[in-house]
Amino acid sequence: MNTSAHLGSTSSVIKGNIDEGCRYGTLALKIFDQHDSQEWQARVVFVVHGMVFPFKIPFRDAVSPMHAAHRSSLVLGDIHVSAAMVCGTSRRILQLTHLVV
């Protein structure tokens, strides 16, 4: 699951192939839905909705899944991912409002 999410991130960000990145991101979410592995939810959602989909899908559509994954990571005690989600989301919001480059 997480490997597909990171392949999507690599394709979108590093290689500039946004469509391929979104395909990997969608694959990661489908695999996650089949296995319902709560300990991976925050990691997969963070990479896919925070790093892959914003190139193609409006960021406001990612806020709800990322908020749910953030709460899940706190319940599971995954503070590292929870903090990364908050920082990444906050920075993205500031970029969208043109307060940060």
Would residue 57 count as lying in a domain?
Answer: yes
The reported pLDDT for the residue numbered 51 is 77
Express each pLDDT in 16-68 by its tens digit. Answer: 777 888 888 888 888 888 876 777 878 888 888 877 787 788 877 877 888 88
Closest by alpha carbon to 49, among 31, 75, 22, 83?
22
> How many independent structural domains does the chain possess?
1
Q: Is 17 a domain residue? A: yes
Query: Would residue 101 count as lying in a domain?
Result: no
65, part of any domain: yes
Q: Which residue range is the domain that position 8 belongs to?
A: 2-96
Per-residue DSSP letters for 23-72?
A: HHHHHHHHHHHHH--HHHHHHHHHHIIIIIGGGTS-THHHHHHHHHHHHH
Residue 90: inside a domain: yes
- 70 found inside a domain: yes
